[in-house]
Structure 1
Amino acid sequence: MDFNAVYHRANDNYCYPLNENQLIINIKTGYDVKYVNIVQGDPFKSGILGGGENWTGESVNIPYKKRLKNQLWWTTTVEPEYKRLKYYFELITEKEKWYYFEDGFVSEEQMNLEGRSRQCFVFPWMNPGDIPVTPAWVNDTIWYQIFPERFCNGDVSLNTEEMLSWRDKGSVRNDEFFGGDIQGIIDKLDYLKELGISGLYLTPINESPSSHKYDTTDYKRIDPHFGTEETFMRLVKEAHERGIRIMLDGVFNHCGKYFAPWKDVVKRGKESEYYDWFMINEWPFEHSKGAAASGQYYSFAFFDDMPKLNTNNVKVREYLLEVCEMWVKKYHVDGIRLDVANEISHVFCKELRTRMKAIKPDIYILGEIWHDAMPWLRGDEFDAVMNYPLGESIKDFWVDKGLTKEDFEYTINRCYTGYMQQTNDVLFNLLDSHDTKRLRSEVKNLDEYFQQLAVLFTMPGSPCIYYGTEIAMEGGHDPDCRRCMPWESIEAEEFKDRMEIIRQLIHLRKEEPLLRNRNFHFPNKISSPRIIEFLKIEWEDKYVEVIINCEEEDIEISRKGRVLFERHYIDNILLKNGILIRKIEN
């Protein structure tokens, strides 16, 4: 047996309570393992630990598995009668059987040795307060990310001399201002509702000198170029009336150079009461430029003008928590997204969850983390993270034509075995954002563009499109991905066909519960190497089938079930670059 391929631990995504009754248990093995049984039972079934007990458990087969690149991921659900579980595994290959305990592998001969210790895995207790709980509404939400300065200019009275005329086409720079504001978002709420959007994620709207607003000057004030508190509260109210929720962007890892506490530090140095609000290594600062890069203080990505906040400091934490409480109590926002969340202290993230959930139990707390985020997703910090690994995995399949449908299966399964199932339900799925090159500029073939979006809208989690995705808007890397929304062209119906495809995908996602379901399976019945095929399953005879033809030739797909969405599917032929989504009910 390939012992090196086997792994389990009795916590995190390998063993966790889904709810107060069900315990999910997962184990990785090599492909040589054909059957896995879990031998499980109550730890005290045979007496107290150390009391000479002879513990035996019930052997139950683990039937479900997902394929990873080099391993199998086996999963099962048990319901411990007394909320605790002791267990080990039986691993069976074609030639042998081994027993897997917390301290390693035991042969059948060793299992029969009298007096040999058996260090079982143990899940001590399913405490209700420790069970990760995520807001149910998020799985039903279709998000739309807005970069306010470039979305729509709704109140020209806010325009200043520095603002340029709205640029319907062409590249943009960060130092250019076009007058997008909160009133502009209000003016387009009906447009968004008609598109099918039910959640808005706004990049920062607090006072800042930049177009992107990630260098905050005042966390308690709406940027005057965007409007007032009253304008924003009207946006939230009118959005809620249309069934659209609002999520704000919290920039708590760093601030801007005009943030009053930082200005006080620059002026007074160690005499400032705010000196410990930041992570300063040397004082005085010797260089007007490059102080962060030289290590005199920490900042975001070596930018001098974005000094890093010390969220280990209780006063900093309290200040930022009060800001968030204001957003929830006064503005009635539904979610908070934390920028550069992986650099903020865990202490702050835990306090944030406690304080915000006390005010609004179903508030959505989202972290910007681009890598494995398990330490932040144990139920006491974030509800979810931005699922960049999924987006990159989807795009890679179309970039690398040498990848097969098996490679696609492996990488998608990797994305959904890293966290708990309740976390997977609310992962923030996206293909591009204000931080990346736009999908349309990554994918020159418009058919492939819609194929990738079809995958996005059929995966577990909560899909988000970046403003302009509905028209296949182009844009290079930051800052060119932040172009002005071309409203004149949209209103002239230049993108009518593209928008209709997005509407159909959004409508299908909202109307078909199986597309929001966490259960999916890759049957791989079609022999062609680059035809993606996966099922969203309710039970064996009821499922939605997604087939996407990424081959260079057409393929015959017999008509069965009810077609929910199709693109380039004619007379039982799925053309190259075609999409077929259908529901089977036997």
Structure 2
Amino acid sequence: MKKIAATLLWLFLLSVLTNTKSHAQQKEVKDEVIYHVFQRSFYDSNGDSHGDLNGLKEKLNYLQNLGVTSILMTPLYESVYYHNYYAIDFKKIDPKYGTLADYLNLVKEVHKRGMKIYMDMETQYVTEDHLWWRDSFGNPGSAYSNYILYDDSAQLKPSSIVFNLTELLGYDGTTRKITTVNLNNKEVQNYNLQLFKYWLDPNGDGNFDDGVDGFRLDHMMDDLDNKGILINLFKTFWVPLLTNLKSVNPHIKFMAEQADWLSYGIDYLKQGGVDAVFAFRIQQAVRTLDKKKIEAFADTTFSNTPKGKEQIMFIENHDIPRFATVVKENPGKLRVGAAINLLIGGIPSIYYGQEIGMLGNAQFGKYGKIITDANEIPSREAFEWYKEINGRGMAFWYKGTGPWWDESNVKPNDGISFEEQEQDKRSLWNFYKSLLVLRKRNHALINGDYMSFPNSNSQVISFIRASEDGHALVVVNLSDQAQHVRLNFSSVNKQLVVNQLENLFGGMKGNSVNENEITLQLKNYDVQVFKF
């Protein structure tokens, strides 16, 4: 009877999933877990307080021990700004990060370990320090006159960028004028092709062991900044660029940060030529811990994602307040966020420090009405390696520079550090690690299709991950109270019979199973995972 029930359940799930638009991860994506690192704040190898490439290499063991398989860096190129957006030179690595040799050594070491590395690129804007600006400003005869956009024929009024900004104040008092690159210019398009090709294969030998495995395309848009000037960029700029790059290395991956965070990014996947987008709507829903919102956005996200394309799951990144700040450091909510981030589907991304519950409240206008890059420093602080504030490798590049330092969330003996959490089996860090071990051991949690599963409790979310390799049920209590929940399989398929479950994660006390219904007792913020 048990074997028959298990067979019926698998046939049911297989029939449902093959007859819906649910999204399936490709077999080639084996347990990919991205670590989104703000490398200036991660680990300093040479004592100058700036996180660097050699520091990142030193901590590869840490990342692998956690369960990470891929690294996504913020931009490396030279810029006057600490975050390295708005370039001076797209091909030159910021000296504070190290040398080209340091970069190549990092990439090769990552690949030796069977890991992947992704580079963040934003070539839509340049500062007044860039060659294109310096040579063409006030000089209509410049060879670079058509490389950037001007609002006047004398080329004295460079066009604004997003939010109509013409300049940006840095946290250190540096102000630079910024303008928009003319992506419709053939020379600019060729420059981008050669630039991206260079990072694919720096020494040009056709062997990609020294090249990136993919790119994050920051602020990607079809109509740049919605100005109606640089339009149809998917067709004229992005698709030709990405197609040409894939002809060089067919395995390269492109992930787009859709500029509209309220979109699902489906047009990017269908028309923009990218392989993955960021699941902003799920991220936004998870922060509310509202069952209806999470289910609605997850259902829409996965059902509309084309086959062969990916959604990147995240609850934190470098532009938004940290999850621990949003949920006011509530331990249960931190675990619920982790569970949904890592188990709901797609490719999970962990923002550095998320795994230890680092705090930070990035917000526009936090440090005055003038837009300054200091506003995001609270969510980009030094990774907390030690119980005490100080220690080898602490990347306090912003120390003593302003109120963001005076109000720093990095404090000693507060429980928010790797040193304090590594040996504590109940810590958030070990919770992340245990979920990643669970994921690695169960293919359904890696490659399985997402399908929401109804239950009797408005405070409990439940969903199934099903693949050819198996299927798992994930049940999460979103509330601070213990909950009793029933999952009736006959409400989904009257012919379905269930009488056997294997517990993979979480307690089984008080749980029961009959022919078509599972009854679970959940502690507050409980996470339980089962294998059929």
**Secondary structure of the structure 1 residue equivalent to 2:65:** helix
Structure 1 residue 133: Cα displacement: 12
Go from structure 1 to structure 2 and tell me whether the alpha carbon gap of 1:229 and 1:135 turns closer, same or farther (over 3 Å shift): farther
**Does the aligned pair in 1 maintain the 2:24–2:307 contact within 8 Å?**
no
Q: Does 1:222 align with 2:93?
A: yes
Structure 1 residue 494: Cα displacement: 4.1
Highest Rg: 1 or 2?
A: 1
Go from structure 1 to structure 2 and tell me whether the alpha carbon gap of 1:135 and 1:237 turns closer, same or farther (over 3 Å shift): farther
**Secondary structure of the structure 1 residue equivalent to 2:308:** helix
**Matched residues in 1 for 2:464 and 2:523: separation?**
20
Structure 1 residue 140: Cα displacement: 2.7
**Matched residues in 2 for 1:479 and 1:308: separation?**
25
Structure 1 residue 135: Cα displacement: 7.2
**Residues paired across the two proteins, number:** 422
* 2:503 aligned residue: 563
* 1:355 aligned residue: 244
Structure 1 residue 412: Cα displacement: 1.3
Q: Aligned to 1:307, which of 179, 193, 218?
A: 179
Go from structure 1 to structure 2 and tell me whether the alpha carbon gap of 1:493 and 1:372 turns closer, same or farther (over 3 Å shift): closer
Structure 1 residue 550: Cα displacement: 2.1
**Matched residues in 1 for 2:267 and 2:294: separation?**
26
- Residue identity over aligned pairs, in percent, reads 25
* 2:407 aligned residue: none
**Matched residues in 2 for 1:76 and 1:434: separation?**
32
* 2:324 aligned residue: 440
Structure 1 residue 374: Cα displacement: 3.2
Go from structure 1 to structure 2 and tell me whether the alpha carbon gap of 1:319 and 1:483 turns closer, same or farther (over 3 Å shift): same
Structure 1 residue 510: Cα displacement: 2.0
* 2:353 aligned residue: 468
Structure 1 residue 473: Cα displacement: 0.7
1:62-141 superposed matches below 5 A:
64=16, 75=20, 137-138=28-29, 140-141=31-32
Residues 147-200 of structure 1 show CA distances to partners (whole Å, capped at 9, x for unaligned) of 1111111123xx3xxxxxxxxxxxxxxxxxx41111110110111111111000
Give 2:347's aligned amino acid: S
* 1:579 aligned residue: 527
Q: Does 1:336 align with 2:198?
A: no
Q: Aligned to 2:83, which of 212, 216, 231?
A: 212
Q: Does 1:272 align with 2:142?
A: yes
Go from structure 1 to structure 2 and tell me whether the alpha carbon gap of 1:306 and 1:418 turns closer, same or farther (over 3 Å shift): farther
RMSD: 2.9
Q: Does 1:373 align with 2:265?
A: yes
**Does the aligned pair in 2 maintain the 1:551–1:576 contact within 8 Å?**
yes
Give 1:562's aligned amino acid: E
Q: Does 1:193 align with 2:64?
A: yes
**Matched residues in 2 for 1:510 and 1:542: separation?**
13
Q: Does 1:493 align with 2:423?
A: no
**Secondary structure of the structure 1 residue equivalent to 2:457:** coil
**Matched residues in 2 for 1:194 and 1:283: separation?**
57
Question: Which protein, 1 or 2, shows the higher relative CO under an 8 Å CA cutoff with sep ≥ 6?
Answer: 2
**Matched residues in 2 for 1:229 and 1:333: separation?**
13
**Matched residues in 2 for 1:208 and 1:538: separation?**
45
Go from structure 1 to structure 2 and tell me whether the alpha carbon gap of 1:311 and 1:239 turns closer, same or farther (over 3 Å shift): same
**Does the aligned pair in 2 maintain the 1:352–1:381 contact within 8 Å?**
no
Give 2:420's aligned amino acid: E
**Does the aligned pair in 1 maintain the 2:449–2:465 contact within 8 Å?**
yes
Q: Decide which structure has greater strand share.
A: 1
Give 2:443's aligned amino acid: P
* 2:380 aligned residue: 482
**Does the aligned pair in 2 maintain the 1:456–1:463 contact within 8 Å?**
yes
Structure 1 residue 428: Cα displacement: 1.6
**Matched residues in 2 for 1:523 and 1:134: separation?**
19
Q: TM-score, normalised by structure 1?
A: 0.67
* 2:170 aligned residue: none
Structure 1 residue 523: Cα displacement: 2.9
**Matched residues in 2 for 1:502 and 1:246: separation?**
21
Q: TM-score, normalised by structure 2?
A: 0.73
1:131-530 superposed matches below 5 A:
137-138=28-29, 140-156=31-47, 159=48, 178-266=49-137, 268-282=138-152, 284=154, 297-301=159-163, 302-304=165-167, 305-330=177-202, 331-342=210-221, 343=224, 345-346=233-234, 347-369=236-258, 370=261, 371-378=263-270, 381-396=273-288, 398=289, 403=290, 405-423=291-309, 426-444=310-328, 445-477=330-362, 478-489=376-387, 490=417, 492-494=419-421, 496=424, 497-525=427-455, 527-530=456-459
Residues 212-249 of structure 1 show CA distances to partners (whole Å, capped at 9, x for unaligned) of 00011111111111101110000011111112100001
Residues 395-436 of structure 1 show CA distances to partners (whole Å, capped at 9, x for unaligned) of 23x2xxxx4x4443222111112321321xx22211110111
Give 1:563's aligned amino acid: N
Gaps of 5+ in 2: 1-14, 168-176, 203-209, 225-229, 363-375, 388-416, 487-498, 512-520
**Does the aligned pair in 2 maintain the 1:300–1:307 contact within 8 Å?**
no
**Secondary structure of the structure 2 residue equivalent to 1:492:** helix
